Amino acid sequence: MRFTNKVAIVTGGGRDIGREVSLRLAAEGARVVVNFANDEASATETLKSIESAGGKAILHRADVATGEGSAGLVEAAITQFGARIDVLVNLAGGMVQRRPLAEIDERFFDSVMSLNLRSAYLMTRAVVPHMAAGSAIVNFSSQAGRDGGGPGASIYATAKGALMTFTRAMAKELGPQGIRVNALCPGMISTSFHDTFSKVEVRKTVAGMTPLRREGRAAEVAAATAFLASEDAAFITGANVDINGGLFFS
């Protein structure tokens, strides 16, 4: 119960990895604010799972890539659970669509960068005034940020690479306040993300190349998130941690 009496915000917390992160933090005692943008049904299912297990959580719909949305999410957390926020997990993001360079217009570029990078910046800016020493931020980058991503993922990979740099910068800036900032860089994790954007044969090939010979599980990523957010990682900050079964070594 590493998060007893602590408040955690999980952006994109309603499904897939976000759901597992929300469930894990709640199971360890956190009061969780589960953010979602569109998929209310999945977020509601996540909330029911937390409550049925005896945990405490609320849902809040917000587009955290906007100043209004990020500020509103933080305000909802404070209104419900008090003035202090202990954990922020910046999970909101996505590829949107695979596009080669010739098909990337400015609107698409801006939308992908906003979803993956601007959202983390805005949430961090909104949350930090309500964090005390011992608080933690966990950003979600990607293996794509390490290696440039697969075909048509250039802007997604660019955003995730920038998020790794933002993580390091915030670790330096916020460290004197006792706030730790780390990031996870997942590889091939079995989620609806890859159901949407990766072909079955590609997934099988990647799993076969992975030293552990399988895809990762969302619950495994959630366990790593909880570690980085907890006092067990009290002297870790500015780290971009790979979780890919050994497929890629940074």
- 3-state DSSP of 83-142: CCCCEEEECCCCCCCCCCHHHCCHHHHHHHHHHHHHHHHHHHHHHHHHCCCCCEEEEECC
Residues designated catalytic: 156
Dihedral sign computed on CA atoms, order 239, 50, 214, 99: negative
81: CB partners within 8 A, 6+ apart: 7, 31, 33
Assigned token pair, 31 = 């009061």
Q: Which amino acid is at 37?
A: A
Alpha-carbon distance 219 to 152, whole Å?
A: 28
Is the separation of the CB atoms in 79 and 85 below 8 Å? no
The percent helix, strand, coil of the chain (3-state, each to 5) is: 50, 15, 35
